[in-house]
Amino acid sequence: MKHIFLIAACLLISGTSCSQNLPLIAASPIKIEKKATYTTGQPYYQVDFSAAACLFEIRVNDIVIFKLNVNGQTSTNLPINQAILQSGKQQITVKILPLTGKHTLDPNAEFKYNIKVFDAAKDMNFKEQLPGGHTFPPVGTKPQAIMTYSETFTANVPYSIPTYDSGTDLKSVGDLNTKIRDAYQQVANLIAKGDYEGFKKLIANRESIAITTSYLSPKESADRVNDLIKDFKSGFKIEPIPANAVVSFEANGKIASLKRPSGDSALYLSNKKTGEEESIDLSFFIPQGKKELEIR
C-alpha cells in the first residue's frame, strides 16, 4: 500500500552544494487571506472522472492532481482545491497516454470527467455541477500516442493564497537537478535522525495551505503530521534516493520536484514487515525577490 504526504522546505541557492552541509531553513510564513464568509461557505471542488485502459494525468493550473496507470477501469471523485489558490479563472488539463510499457494508446482507452462543487461547511452537501467537462472520443484503430483536453472554469473560494505566477522559472536555474537532489537528501537525513521538530518547521507553509484550501481544523492538520511521524517511529525506514530520479516541472516551470520513473516521489520510506510505502512529495518554488528554493 502506498501513502503520499506533501511537505515544504527551503534550500539556499548558491554556488555551494547542499552535499557540503548547507542547512535547510524554514521559509517565512506564507501570507493567506480569509474572507469573512470562510467558515460559513466552503466551496469544495472535485473532479468526477472515469477511466479505462490508459495512463492518465489530471492537472489544475498546471499542478498535478492525480496520475495513474489503469489496466482495467476506475472511477472516483478527487478534490482539486489544493490547486485553486484564489477565486477566478482556473484551468484543467487532462492527458491520456499509453499504458506503461506501451507506445500507443490502447484501442479501448476511455476517459471522461466533470467538475462538481460541494459545501464543506454543510456536511459536503452537493451544490452544483459546473458547465463543461469532457468525454474523450474513441481511440479506434489509428495509432495515437496521446490525447489532451484543456478548458477553463470559474471558482469562487473564501481565501486568497499567493500564486506561483511571479516566481522564478526553475528551468533557468543552473544545476537544478543537483540542488534539488541535495535538498531531498537533507530532508531524508532529518527524518532518519529523528529530528521531528525540525521536520514540522519545514512543513509549516505546506500545512497552512492544506488547512486553508481543504478547510481543515488545526487539530486535523496536527493529526496529519503526527500520524506521519508515528509511521516514522513504527518501522518505516527512509530509502536511498534513486539515481534514475528525474526533475519534473509544474505550474509552467515555476515548481519542480524529483520523481522516480514510476512518477512517485524520489523521497520515500518503506516498512519491510507490512510492505507499505510512504511517499513524501516535495515541490520547490522560488518566490519573487528571493534566491531560496521553497517547497510548498
Express each pLDDT in 151-190 by its tens digit. Answer: 999 999 999 999 888 889 999 988 888 888 888 888 888 8
Give dist(CA 81, CA 74) in Å, integer: 22
Give residue 7's pLDDT band: very low, low, confident or very high (50, 70, 90). very low
Predicted pLDDT of residue 206: 82
Spatial contact of 188 and 26, defined as CB atoms under 8 Å apart: no
Confidence of residue 253 (pLDDT cuts 50, 70, 90): very high
| pLDDT exceeds cutoff 90 at 289 | no
Q: Are strands 2-7 and 276-282 parallel, antiparallel or unpaired?
A: parallel
Task: Check residue 70 and report its DSSP letter.
Answer: E
d(C-alpha 291, C-alpha 273), whole Å: 42
From residue 34, give the alpha-carbon distance in Å to each of 134, 193, 205, 213. Answer: 32, 37, 16, 10
**Cell numbers standing for residue 246:** 528525474
Please check the confidence at residue 18 and state whether its pLDDT lies above 70. no
Q: Is the pLDDT of residue 4 over 70?
A: no
Proportion of the chain above pLDDT 70, given as a percent: 90
> Taking 90 as the threshold, does the pLDDT of residue 13 lie above it?
no
DSSP 17: -
pLDDT tens-place string over residues 90-117: 999 999 999 999 999 999 999 999 999 9
The model's pTM is 0.86
Amino acid at 183: A
Beta bridge partners, 75, equal 50
Q: What is the pLDDT of residue 290?
A: 80
Contact 86, 160 (CB under 8 A): yes
- Per-residue pLDDT, 122: 94
For residue 204, give the DSSP letter: H
pLDDT at 9 over 70: no
- Residue that wins the pLDDT comparison between 143 and 25: 143
Alpha-carbon 96 to chain mean position: 19
* Contact criterion met (CB below 8 Å) for 25 and 229: no
Cα(157)–Cα(217) distance, integer angstroms: 17
* Cβ within 8 Å of residue 257, ≥6 positions away: 180, 247, 248, 250, 265, 281, 282, 283, 284
294: phi then psi, degrees, rounded to nearest 5: -100, 140
3-state secondary structure of 278: strand
> Contact, 46 vs 66, CB < 8 A?
no
pLDDT of residue 26: 59
Per-residue pLDDT tens over the stretch 120-152: 999 999 999 999 999 999 998 888 999 999 999
Task: Give pairs for 248-252: CB < 8 Å, separation 24+.
Answer: 249/170, 249/171, 250/59, 250/62, 250/63, 250/64, 250/283, 251/61, 251/62, 251/63, 251/164, 251/167, 251/285, 252/62, 252/164
Write out pLDDT tens, residues 34-93: 999 999 999 999 999 999 999 999 999 999 999 999 999 999 999 999 999 999 999 999
Could you state, in order of their start, the residue ranges of all structural domains in the chain? Answer: 2-32+164-295, 43-160
Measured in whole angstroms, how far is the alpha carbon of residue 117 from the centre of its chain?
A: 20
- Please give the average per-residue pLDDT across 210-219, as a whole number: 91
